[in-house]
A = this chain, B = another copy of it.
Amino acid sequence: MILSPRSDTDWMQAAIALALRGRALSSPNPSVGCILVRDGRVVGRGWTMRGGRPHGEAMALAAAGDAARGATAYVTLEPCAHDSERGPACADLLIAAGVARVVIGTQDPDPRTNGAGIARLEAAGITVQSGVAEASARASLSGFITRQTLGRPFVTLKLATSLDGQIALADGSSQWITGEQARAHTHVERAHHDAILVGGGTYRADAPRLDVRLAGLETRSPRRVLLSRMGDAPAGWTALASPHDIASLAGVGWLMVEGGAETAAAFLAIDSVDRLLLYRAPVLIGRGKAALGDIGLGNLVDAHGRWRLDNTRLLGNDRMESYQRIR
């Protein structure tokens, strides 16, 4: 199919969309999207496979075969420069395939690559451009980049509230504040996370399954983590003694915190929430259970400038809002 001319940014956004297919599945490796384009035609596409291999570039090059020669490769993350027992470095694969140009979303913070992939490509005479649609590319790689830069998972805090910020009636009932579409959206979000964490109160009150109840995605249910000061957890759960310890969750790049109010507040109090995922139903509850416990805010001035809306969507009668922590 001949496509109308697209910009580098358009192609990069398409590569980012591809990368989403491998999100959380590819952990602990990042899910990287790759599109090979020659003469305005897509000749190969790939994204990181389950467990991290093959990489998106290898998959796209295998699909393209000889058509990769002279093509432009759009890759969301700098191609790796390190050989591993699981396969050759992607930079070398791109060189061997004869691609003419490599367009990169963002540089790889992994010290084994960090610029070395770009250097190797350029040394082979390939034109390299980095930083295209970089904010979007980085957002798609947050689980990996936050691990590399802050040494811990990227944390999404999910809250489902009434218009007045309540998550339940005073008697604890919360089924249902939001509707079916919002709940289905939560299940898709779960499939994009490596692990989901709840506090002891939520565990005891709801004994939540926290699985992905969507046809075709059942196998994408994330690990379940219980915040438990005593460090004990039931079978099938991982215990975590404190929000300070999330770095110890091996292989977890994307962590979703699902409740309740005290657990959510504990993560906010130590500034370990990177994204707020809010579902808001057009209902009023009045005196019920507030979404958050004490987050340690002493002055309103300190509350400002921390959150930026990056996505919003109507789901039935409810509104989804996603806010990113401004750092």
Contact = CB atoms under 8 A, between A and B. Distances in A.
B296 A286 contact: yes
Nearest to A161: B165
Contact of A307 (B283, B285, B293): B283
A275 B306 CA distance: 30
Interface in A256-293: 265, 268-269, 276, 278, 281-288, 290-293
A287 B290 contact: yes
B265 A286 contact: yes
Q: Count identical subunits in the complex.
A: 2
B295 A268 contact: no
A308 interface: yes
Given A161-B164, A163-B165, A166-B165, A282 B308 contact: yes
Contact of A291 (B159, B164, B175, B303): B164
Contacts of A161: 164-165
Contacts of A159: 164
Contacts of A309: 282
A135 to B, nearest CB: 18
A210 interface: no
B307 A284 contact: yes
A169 B300 CA distance: 8
Contacts of A177: 300, 303
B282 A287 contact: no
A323 interface: yes
